[in-house]
Each structure stands twice: as structure tokens, then as C-alpha cells.
Amino acid sequence: MDRLPRWADVVLVPLISLVFAAIISALVLLVIGQSPVEAFKVMVDGALGSAYGWGYTLYYATSFIFTGLAVTVAFHAGLFNIGGEGQAQLGGLGVALVCLSLPWPHWTIALAAATAGAALFGAAWALIPAYLQAKRGSHIVITTIMFNYIAAALMVYVLVDVLRPVGQMDPASARFPEGAQLPALNDLPLFNLIFQKPVPANITLLIALVMAVVIWAMLWRTRLGYQIRAFGKSEAAAKYAGINPVRITIIAMLISGALAGMMSINNVMGEAERLLQNSSEGAGFIGIAVALMGRNHPFGVVLAALLFGFLYQGGAELGLWTSIPIEMRIVVQGLVILFTGALDMMVRMILGRIFGMVRSARAMRTA
Amino acid sequence: MSADANSMGRQATAAPFAIELKGISKSFGPVQANKDINIAVPRGTIHGIIGENGAGKSTLMSILYGFYKADSGQIFVGGTLTPIPDSQSAIRAGIGMVFQHFKLVQNFTVLENIVLGAEDGALLNTSLTKARKVLKDLAQEYELDVDPDALIEDLSVGHQQRVEILKALYRQADILILDEPTGVLTPAEADHLFRILRGLRDQGKTIILITHKLREIMETTDNVSVMRRGTMVATVKTAETSPEALAELMVGRKVLLEVEKQAPRPGPVVLSVENLRVRDEHGVDRLRGISFEIRAGEILGIAGVAGNGQSELLAALGGMMKASGKVTLKGQDLPLSGAGADGQSRREAGVAHVPEDRHHHGLILDFAAWENVAFGYHNDPKYQKSALFMDNDALRADTEKKMATFDVRPPIPSLAAKNFSGGNQQKIVVAREMEQNPDLLLIGQPTRGVDIGAIEFIHKQIVALRDAGKAILLVSVELDEIMSLSDRIAVMFDGQIMGLRSPESTNERELGLLMAGMTGKTTGEAA
């Protein structure tokens, strides 16, 4: 097959995949008797048409950046971490324990401590599957899926029997103290020029963007990243080079789990301000799609997270303003994942043919 | 252009050529892999195509088999213009291909593999019965006997290759292309293969043999075409040429087929191995008590048929495999298991290692050349910018320098390793390991899949490192290579050293006996 130029590979392939997904989504809408144009307008208006809409889109995107980065780091070590969901929920527990433990004097200190707590709990939840993979050869896909269920069960127990304040009806922790409440974008200088109404997107967005740069530098500029990537490409070669497979597996999964856990400072600390059941709401799984679409590159992950943030918020708007069922958002997401992830090669092949034809036409003209 | 192609085809009289390619060009981005190639292969001949790695042989054959589409040019099969857009069309035109890496389903039987993709009808049984009969005829006709009910995974490499040939013949191929067919075969298997090929030719089949081994070309082909850097430089009758002439055509300059070296000046013992034992994960003893020494300024060559413990010897010394026994490097103990028995510690101790399999061990194929230059030496202080960050710029500059010294082509540090030809990939590995200035160099199959020009270069580098006073352990299945490079030769069989010889006082026959496990004194004609 003809190779594609880099710009086509990075820009054109995902773009065309998206167009395909949009076309099929439109067909589905037509079949259920709705107007695709109308639906598209509602989605764009609701997610991107106002600062308020952006506030939600960015809020969702923040969570997806963290979980997408988590999948990316593990992927570069050749590990498929499907446990982002469980690691994020445990991260939420870490956030809650930190926030409830002290009457925090200022949100900056609380944020630093909660970030550490989230990362620590998320990493700890990834440690056991990592150890089992490295030492016992238990496949990480299986163990991380299992740990999602264990995490869900553990959270029910903790929220019902441990953290629930006496007399409260729903399984949730107490509200976090005032000093542990994060500023939303409308509370931050400069940002409040754009965001004048309260929005859920908060300071965590900036942490997410910083983490994307940090992870990029870690993967491509440090010895550790070099070893992770080498190990991920070829375990046999890594052994030849004296890269310790056990060490790299565990470190990569710790970083991955920590990133997934850090998502919880966005939703638990920044938005809900208490720990709820199923706090991550599937963002751990969306992270897989985000990483796939972002080509496992931190900057790609940021862009893909924005797209999925848009789909999430736009889809919610659909449910709110039209008679299109909110489940349509899951259909659209599914199609985006299908085309950008699974059918990626198809688009690539078609483009390869076209580029090949253009090239030979050009060669003929010059010959 | 086609005039010179016509002039050599005297054997085919007036009959049309089996294959004729006219003006084939193909480029990949800026790289022109094939430039206006013209070739005509007379029916019923064995036609060799020879050229260095990266000369464009495989691209040309991929165009012929429909994997690539030529940018321009025409393909004639049996005299008629035949466009070949995909491999189905190639098969329909009677072209069969035997790849270097077999395309067989390991847990299917021979019969199932042969029928696969050529089943007629929904019921498997009818085509299997038919195939069984056809297979029997083919086996008798061409010495191609393989048990049709054996599983592929149970067959030797030589037999698997026969299945590939049978697959092509079952699809009624008249023209058979073989891409580097002997790379994986023992000398005996290779001889058998060439007998089969001659038989096929005598039955009127046309064979195209792609190789870089001059000896095979001289022994088996009727005509030979030489490619160099994407162009067809000559097509000659094999009987009227010589290995030296072909080598010169391939490389574009005179090539030394022999290694020039002076008498060794061995210094003190660098590596001492005592009673080295390796047991693999299945509990099989791979090394059964090996002892030897290598001195400074000396090359010890390990000869033997592949699979007799040479790989494990390199792996154990390179820190890739647990072992027991006693190994010292310049008087210092090298740990053989537990802490310190890994590739990093070995490199720190002064052991460099060119592994036997550069694709699986020596390189990360998706990494750029400069990233591969740090492979194994990523902790080296000279590649660090700070405690945290690697100095990628220094690494790139260092790669550029190494590429210049070792004549790696193209000299582009950012190119992924997989995009270099085999010879240039090997040069990258050899450059990385030799330039570390090690006390001991472990080097396995240094020229496997490497073209003649690069072989000459790598051999020179090995000798230069020896003359610089380093100890070298050379493992190779190529007896010529062992004979011409080594100062002493150890022959391995079944995990043991059968004997130590000096290249001046031994010959291939004696080494061959040792390689077969016979100690040489009482065996007589047994080989």
C-alpha cells in the first residue's frame, strides 16, 4: 500500500472518519424521522454557541483529557488499560478523603493535596493489575476490567457504610468544606471575561493541559519515556537492551492509574463537591476512544477530548430541546469510535489509493 | 532498451518470453525504487535476479505479483500485455510467489494450507480430495514429497518451503518467483531445493530466483540480471560470467570476497568462561558445560548448525538469559543470574552485543535511527541533558557521525529503522555496539541478510576492532565467515564444544563432522 504523507495521516484521516460518522448519524436521524440539520444545529448551538455551552463542553473535555492520557501512557508501554473507570472512581475516593479530612484554609492547598490523593488512589488501584501482569502474566485487559467491577462494589460499600453522614438518604459523602471548593472558570481572572455565568468547567482544565505537556515531555524527552516506548514496541528487544520489563510495566501502569485518578479533581472536587456513586460516569471508557482517536499522542488526546466534550454536551442538549432521545448521543459516540478507531484502516486505504493515483498522474506528466 | 533483453534469450528461440517487463518505474515518495526496468525471462529457464539489499529486487517482484502498482511501464506474460493490479490477477496469469517469510497457517495441515483460498464450492471435502490427488502427482513428478496430513508447525523449515512451492503449483503457476529462498535453509536443504527447481525447469516451468548469494546464482541459474540502486545494470548468461564480475556489477566497484587480515597478536585473557550451563524454560539443557577463553586482540569463532546452543551462549553472556557457571571479564565476575545479570550491567561492564536477530532484539523497527543508536545505551551520561531529560540533539548528532563512519544509507537520522535495508539496519546496530569501545564484543550472524558491499565493510570493522586489542566472540552459521574471520574456531554441537581448531590447520570437512557431533577420529566416511 502507498504510504500517506504525514499531514494526511494526522489531519485528513480523522477528519474524513468524522465526516463518515456524521453522515451515518444523519441517516439514522432521518430513519427515526428527525431532521439531521436541526439536530446538528442544536448540538453546535448548545455546546459551542455560547460561553455557557463551552463551559460544559470544556468540563467534559477536562475529564476526557485525563482518562485519554491514562490510556495513552499505558498504550505506549504495550499495555491496554481498560481500568480507567475504576481508577477514576478510586481517585474520587482519594479526593473525598483528603477534602473531608481537614478544614482546608485555602483551595490552592486543598487542590495540591487532593491532586496527590487522587493520583495516589488511582495509581494504587492500577498497581495490583500491573503487578499481576508483570510477575504472573495475568492479562492486564482482563484484570483491569475486573477491577472496574471491584471498584464499583467497593465504592457502594464506602459510600453507604463509611462516608455517608448519619441521617442522609442517598449513598454519597458529606459536602466538602468551603476551603476545598475549586474556582470555576467564571471565578478566575481573565476567564471571567468570557465566562460570566457560573459554569462547571474549572481550574482543573488548566491542570489537564499542563499534564498533557508533561506526559508528552515524559514520553519523548526522558529516559523513562524512552524505556516505556521501547518496551511497548518490543519486549524481546527491551530485554536485550537491559530494560527491566517488570519495572517498566509497573511504572507505566502507576502513571496511567494516577492520571485516571486525577480526573476526579475535575468532577468530584470541582463540580459535585462531594463524592457520589459512579462519580466517573463512563469517562474512563471514553478515555479509550479519546486515546484511539488522538493517536496516542497527548496533543491529539486534547483535541479528541474536546470533540468528545462537544458530543457529550451537544448530545445532552439534544435530549433537552428536541424530541430526539438522549440515547442518540451514545449512537453518535459509537459511530465516531467505530469510524475513528475500528474503521481507521478503511479510510486510510481509500486515501492511499487516491494519493497513489495523484502521484502516478503527476509522474506521468513529468515523464 | 529491449534490444539488450532480446539478445540474451537465445534458449527460448522464437517463443515469446514467459515474462517481459518494459520500462517499469516505481517511486516511494522521494525514493525511486525502480527506474525504467527492462527484463525478459525466456520460458523454461531459471533466471537469477541479484543485487544488494535495497537495489529494488523485491519492489520489482512485488510489482510483478500485484502488491505494488508501477508508476509506469508494462508487463507482458507469455507475450501478451497483462496488467497486474492485484495478486489474484498474478495468480490467474500463472505467476506464483514463494516469499522469504512463509505465509502458512501454522495449525492447519499441509493439505488445508494448499487448498486455502482455492477451495471450489462450499464443501471442503471435495476440494481436499482433489488436492490430495494433485499433490500426489506433484510429489512424484518433482521430488516434492510432504506428508499432506502433517501440521505445518510440525514441519521443518525446508518442508514448509516445499508447501509454499506446492501451493503455487496447485494454483497452476507456470512462473515461480522465489524471494531469498535459502536464507532459512541448511546447506543440505538448499541443495534439495535447487534439485527441485531444476526439475521444475526441465518440465517447462520458468523460475525467477531472487538472491544476493553469488554461489547460488552460479550453481543454478541459466541467466542472471543484476540490479543496482533501482536500475537494471546488466543481464548476462550465467555460464559466461564469474562471481567476481557479478559482485563488481552489483556494488559498482571491485569487491574483495576474501577478508584481508594480519596474524593476530593475542594479549591477556579478557573473557574466561568455565562450565557455563543454560536450562531453558521448558527444562531443556541448552548449554551443557562450556568452557573457553578469549584473549585481547583475538576473534573466537563459534561454528555449528543453528540451534545447537550458540544463541543461548550469546544470550547468557549478553545478560538476556539465566545461566550457571563462572564467567569473568578482565578478572571481574559477571553475574549469570539475579541482580547484575541484565543487558544494562553487561554494557556497563564493557560487553557490547550485536544480537543474532536484529529485528527482534537489536532494533526497535518503529523507532528512528537516532533513537536506535541510544538503544541499550539510553543511560549513558553522554546522551543526557540533565538528570531527567535525554539530550536528543546530542544523540542525533552522534547518529549522524556514526552513519558517516559506517556508511549507512540513506544518512537520515530521523528515518525509522524499518525503512532501511537489511544491510544498513545491521550497520546501525554494528556502529552502535562497536563505537562503545567495548572490551568484549559478542557478535551473532553479523552478515545475515546483508549484501556483499556491506559484508565486506562489516568484516573489515570486526578485524579492525580485533587489531585494536579487543576480544571478539563471533557466532555464525556461515562456515566461510567463520573460516575467514576467526583466529580460533570452536565447534558447537548439542550444547557442548566439540573441539577447538585453528583455521589454518582445519578444513570445512573436518568442521562439518564436528558440527554433526562427530569428534573426527573414528568416524571416517560416516558423514
A146-199 per-position pLDDT tens digit: 999 999 999 999 999 999 998 888 899 999 998 899 999 999 988 888 888 899
User: Could you tell me which residue, A223 or B11, shows the higher pLDDT?
Assistant: A223
Q: Which three cell numbers stand for residue B355?
A: 544480537
Q: Which residues of B216-233 are buried (b: 16+ CB within 10 A; e: fewer)?
A: bbbebbbbbbbbbebbbe
User: What is the four-CA torsion angle of B240, B243, B244, B247, rounded to 10 degrees?
Assistant: 110
Burial label, A320 (beta-carbon count in 10 A; 0-12, 13-18, 19+): exposed
In tens, the pLDDT along A301-339 reads 999 999 999 998 998 888 888 888 878 888 888 888 888
Average pLDDT for residues B325-347, to the nearest whole number?
A: 93
Which residue from A204, A346, A192, A194 is spatially nearest to A270, judged by alpha carbons? Answer: A204
| Cα distance between residue B339 and residue B40, in whole Å | 61
The model's confidence at residue A340, banded by pLDDT at 50, 70 and 90, is confident
In this complex, is the C-beta atom of B103 within 8 Å of any C-beta atom belonging to chain A? no
Q: Are A316 and A50 in contact (CB under 8 A)?
A: no
User: Which amino acid, A63?
Assistant: S
Identify which of A221, A241, A360 has the shortest CB distance to residue B390. Answer: A221
Q: A237 vs B361: CB contact, 8 Å cut-off?
A: yes
Burial label, A140 (beta-carbon count in 10 A; 0-12, 13-18, 19+): buried
| Cα distance between residue B271 and residue B332, in whole Å | 9
- Using DSSP bridges, classify how beta strands B80-81 and B231-237 pair: parallel, antiparallel or unpaired: unpaired
In this complex, is the C-beta atom of A135 within 8 Å of any C-beta atom belonging to chain B? no
In this complex, is the C-beta atom of B364 within 8 Å of any C-beta atom belonging to chain A? yes
Q: B364 vs A356: CB contact, 8 Å cut-off?
A: no
In tens, the pLDDT along B65-84 reads 998 889 999 999 988 999 99
> What's the pLDDT at B15?
60
| Cα distance between residue A46 and residue A326, in whole Å | 14
Least confident stretch, B50-59, B157-166, B399-408, B488-497: B50-59
CB contacts of A356 in chain B (<8 Å) are 69
Identify which of B342, B375, B392 has the shortest CB distance to residue A230. Answer: B375
Q: Which residues of A219-230 are buried (b: 16+ CB within 10 A; e: fewer)?
A: bbbbbbbbbbbb
Chain B: closest CA distance from residue A151 (Å): 34
In this complex, is the C-beta atom of A242 within 8 Å of any C-beta atom belonging to chain B? yes
Q: What is the rounded radius of gyration, in angstroms, for the C-alpha atoms of chain A?
A: 22
> What's the pLDDT at B421?
81
Nearest CA in chain B to A1: B68
User: Could you tell me which residue, B262 or B118, shows the higher pLDDT?
Assistant: B262
> How far is residue B428 CA from its own chain's centroid?
16
In tens, the pLDDT along A76-131 reads 999 999 999 999 999 999 999 999 998 899 999 999 999 999 999 999 999 999 99
Please state, as a whole number, how many other Cβ atoms lie within 10 Å of the Cβ of residue A132.
18
Q: Among the ranges A318-327, B255-264, B492-501, which has the highest mean pLDDT value?
A: B492-501
Give me the domains of chain B, ranges plus CATH numbers: 1-94+174-246 (3.40.50.300), 102-173 (no CATH), 269-515 (3.40.50.300)
Give, in order, the Cα–Cα distances in Å from B380 to each of B88, B335, B344, B385, B392.
51, 21, 10, 11, 12
pLDDT reading at B8 higher than 60: no
Chain A to chain B Cβ contacts (< 8 Å): 81
The model's confidence at residue B28, banded by pLDDT at 50, 70 and 90, is confident
The model's confidence at residue B6, banded by pLDDT at 50, 70 and 90, is very low
pLDDT reading at B524 higher than 50: no
Q: Which element (helix H / strand E) includes B51? A: strand B46-51
| Cα distance between residue A165 and residue A175, in whole Å | 10
Phi, psi (deg, nearest 5) at residue A163: -90, -15
What lies within 8 Å, CB to CB, of B87 at 6+ separation is B65, B66, B67, B97
| Cα distance between residue A248 and residue A226, in whole Å | 11
Q: A242 vs B345: CB contact, 8 Å cut-off?
A: yes
Least confident stretch, B157-161, B268-272, B279-283, B450-454: B450-454
Give, in order, the Cα–Cα distances in Å from B202 to each of A323, A358, B279.
77, 45, 49
Q: A240 vs B320: CB contact, 8 Å cut-off?
A: yes
Q: A360 vs B25: CB contact, 8 Å cut-off?
A: no
Q: A233 vs B364: CB contact, 8 Å cut-off?
A: yes
> What's the pLDDT at B51?
85
User: Could you tell me which residue, A145 or A356, shows the higher pLDDT?
Assistant: A145
> What's the pLDDT at B10?
39
Mutual orientation of helices A245-264 and A107-131 as an angle, nearest 10°?
140
Identify which of B27, B364, B390 has the shortest CB distance to residue A222. Answer: B390
CB contacts of A227 in chain B (<8 Å) are 378
ipTM summary value: 0.84
Q: Which three cell numbers stand for residue A58?
A: 470544556
User: Could you tell me which residue, B488 or A361, shows the higher pLDDT?
Assistant: B488
**% pLDDT > 70, chain B:** 94
Q: Are A340 and A308 in contact (CB under 8 A)?
A: no
Alpha-helical (H) ranges within A49-194 are 51-76, 84-101, 107-131, 140-157, 191-194
> What's the pLDDT at A326?
78
User: What is the four-CA torsion angle of B96, B98, B101, B107, rounded to 10 degrees?
Assistant: 80
The model's confidence at residue A10, banded by pLDDT at 50, 70 and 90, is confident
Total length of chain A: 367
| Cα distance between residue B395 and residue B377, in whole Å | 11
Phi, psi (deg, nearest 5) at residue B327: -130, 125
Identify which of B347, B367, B388 has the shortest CB distance to residue A233. Answer: B367
SS3 category, B391: coil
Average predicted confidence (pLDDT) for chain A: 91
Q: A237 vs B343: CB contact, 8 Å cut-off?
A: no
The model's confidence at residue B187, banded by pLDDT at 50, 70 and 90, is low
Q: Are A280 and A264 in contact (CB under 8 A)?
A: yes
What lies within 8 Å, CB to CB, of A37 at 6+ separation is none
> What's the pLDDT at B9?
40
Average pLDDT for residues B222-241, to the nearest whole number?
A: 92
Q: A242 vs B69: CB contact, 8 Å cut-off?
A: no
Q: What is the largest CA-CA distance in chain B?
A: 74
The CATH code belonging to domain A59-306 is 1.10.3470
In this complex, is the C-beta atom of A137 within 8 Å of any C-beta atom belonging to chain B? no
> What's the pLDDT at B304?
85
Q: Are A107 and A183 in contact (CB under 8 A)?
A: yes
Least confident stretch, A70-79, B110-119, B464-473: B110-119
In this complex, is the C-beta atom of B76 within 8 Å of any C-beta atom belonging to chain A? no
Residue indicated by cell numbers 495441515: B109
Q: A242 vs B28: CB contact, 8 Å cut-off?
A: no
The model's confidence at residue B523, banded by pLDDT at 50, 70 and 90, is very low
| Cα distance between residue B321 and residue B329, in whole Å | 17
Segments of chain A assigned E as strands: none
Average pLDDT for residues A227-233, to the nearest whole number?
A: 96
Q: What is the rounded radius of gyration, in angstroms, for the C-alpha atoms of chain B?
A: 25
Q: Are A219 and A229 in contact (CB under 8 A)?
A: yes
Which residue from B486, B428, B492 is spatially nearest to B459, judged by alpha carbons? Answer: B486
Interface test with A, best of B367, B382, B384 (most A CBs within 10 A): B367
B residues 311-330 closer than 8 Å to A (CB): 318-320
Q: Which element (helix H / strand E) includes B325? A: strand B324-329
Q: A360 vs B69: CB contact, 8 Å cut-off?
A: yes
In this complex, is the C-beta atom of A8 within 8 Å of any C-beta atom belonging to chain B? no
User: Which amino acid, B240?
Assistant: E
> What pTM was estimated for this model as a whole?
0.78
End-to-end CA distance of chain B: 51
Q: A237 vs B27: CB contact, 8 Å cut-off?
A: no
pLDDT reading at A363 higher than 90: no
| Cα distance between residue A239 and residue B343, in whole Å | 7
pLDDT reading at B526 higher than 50: no
| Cα distance between residue B427 and residue B402, in whole Å | 9
In this complex, is the C-beta atom of A244 within 8 Å of any C-beta atom belonging to chain B? yes
Give, as one character, the DSSP assignment of residue B221: -
Average pLDDT for residues B397-403, to the nearest whole number?
A: 95
pLDDT reading at B496 higher than 50: yes
Give, in order, the Cα–Cα distances in Å from B409 to each of A95, A314, B55.
55, 52, 12
Q: A221 vs B389: CB contact, 8 Å cut-off?
A: yes
CB contacts of A235 in chain B (<8 Å) are none
Average pLDDT for residues B411-415, to the nearest whole number?
A: 93
Average predicted confidence (pLDDT) for chain B: 87
Q: B343 vs A233: CB contact, 8 Å cut-off?
A: no
Identify which of B25, B69, B388 has the shortest CB distance to residue A222. Answer: B388
> What's the pLDDT at B240?
93
Q: B29 vs A241: CB contact, 8 Å cut-off?
A: no
Interface test with B, best of A2, A221, A223 (most B CBs within 10 A): A223
Tell whether the torsion through CA atoms of B236, B241, B243 and B245 is positive or negative. negative
> What's the pLDDT at B143?
77
The model's confidence at residue B184, banded by pLDDT at 50, 70 and 90, is low
pLDDT reading at B1 higher than 60: no
Q: A223 vs B379: CB contact, 8 Å cut-off?
A: yes
Q: Are B215 and B243 in contact (CB under 8 A)?
A: yes
Q: Are B59 and B53 in contact (CB under 8 A)?
A: no
> What's the pLDDT at B429?
96
Chain B: closest CA distance from residue A153 (Å): 39
CB contacts of B320 in chain A (<8 Å) are 239-240
| Cα distance between residue B439 and residue A342, in whole Å | 50
| Cα distance between residue A112 and residue A198, in whole Å | 23
| Cα distance between residue A276 and residue A68, in whole Å | 22
In this complex, is the C-beta atom of A363 within 8 Å of any C-beta atom belonging to chain B? yes
> What's the pLDDT at B307?
78
Please state, as a whole number, how many other Cβ atoms lie within 10 Å of the Cβ of residue A234.
20
In tens, the pLDDT along B348-375 reads 999 999 999 898 999 999 999 999 999 9
Q: Are B346 and A242 in contact (CB under 8 A)?
A: yes
Average pLDDT for residues A267-275, to the nearest whole number?
A: 93
The model's confidence at residue B3, banded by pLDDT at 50, 70 and 90, is very low
Give, as one character, the DSSP assignment of residue A183: P
CB contacts of B343 in chain A (<8 Å) are 239-243
In this complex, is the C-beta atom of B89 within 8 Å of any C-beta atom belonging to chain A? no
The model's confidence at residue B517, banded by pLDDT at 50, 70 and 90, is confident
CA neighbours closer than 13 Å in the CB half-sphere of residue B235? 24
CB contacts of B415 in chain A (<8 Å) are none
In this complex, is the C-beta atom of A353 within 8 Å of any C-beta atom belonging to chain B? no
Identify which of B25, B345, B360 has the shortest CB distance to residue A237. Answer: B360
| Cα distance between residue A16 and residue A20, in whole Å | 6
> What's the pLDDT at A227?
96
Q: A242 vs B384: CB contact, 8 Å cut-off?
A: no
Q: Are A42 and A322 in contact (CB under 8 A)?
A: yes
Chain B: closest CA distance from residue A177 (Å): 38
Interface test with B, best of A226, A246, A360 (most B CBs within 10 A): A226
Chain B: closest CA distance from residue A241 (Å): 4
Q: Tell whether omega for the bond before B410 is within 30 degrees of 0, i.e. cis.
A: yes
Q: Among the ranges A340-354, B137-151, B164-178, which has the highest mean pLDDT value?
A: B164-178
Q: Which three cell numbers stand for residue B226?
A: 543484476
Give, in order, the Cα–Cα distances in Å from A192 to each of A52, A55, B245, B379.
12, 11, 80, 47
Q: Which three cell numbers stand for residue A266?
A: 475535575
In this complex, is the C-beta atom of B98 within 8 Å of any C-beta atom belonging to chain A? no
Identify which of B361, B371, B379 has the shortest CB distance to residue A240. Answer: B361
